[in-house]
Amino acid sequence: MPENQAYSQFFQKRAVLEKIIRQQLAFFKALSMREWVNTINNLKERVESENFKVLVLGEFNAGKSTFINALLKKEILPSYSLPCTAIINEVKWGEKQRALLHYNPDKSGKTVAPEEIPINKIQDYVVINHSDEEKNTTQNSSYKKVEIFLGFRTM
């Protein structure tokens, strides 16, 4: 199926779903079911949103980063023969290509503001150091996640 035909079908199906949601919303409002009105409104926002989330899960060294790089058609995430990514990597659309590093709260619970890092230096922050593996686990990392912003329309 051509890409634009699949995209067109997606919009048709989404329009049908939006119509059903509007109908259900009217019923719940008429019945004064506020909790359901809130739930349906949240669903409506998600369906109307232009955001798509894809979660890639797998065991260590299963090729998740390699798969994501292939999907992006660009080598962004580090991928080695040994397990390598120690923190969550979120790839998002952005006007400007950049990376934002988020820190875990410190021992006192204080949170540190995210820091912008060069996109070509991501591996310096997310890769497991196998020479000191015990200290370099997800639980011991001072980093929570890295957000990677890419201009997908130019890829």
Cα separation of 76 and 66, whole Å? Answer: 9
pLDDT band at 101 (very low <50, low <70, confident <90, very high): very high
109-141, pLDDT tens digit by residue? 898 899 999 988 888 887 766 555 444 444 457
First to last CA, the chain: 22
Instruction: Report the length, in residues, of the chain.
Output: 155
Exposed/middle/buried for residue 144 (C-beta within 10 Å: 0-12, 13-18, 19+)? middle
pLDDT tens track for 20-74 = 999 999 999 999 999 999 999 999 998 988 777 788 888 877 888 888 888 888 8
3-class secondary-structure state, position 46: helix
Judge contact between 143 and 103, C-beta under 8 A. yes
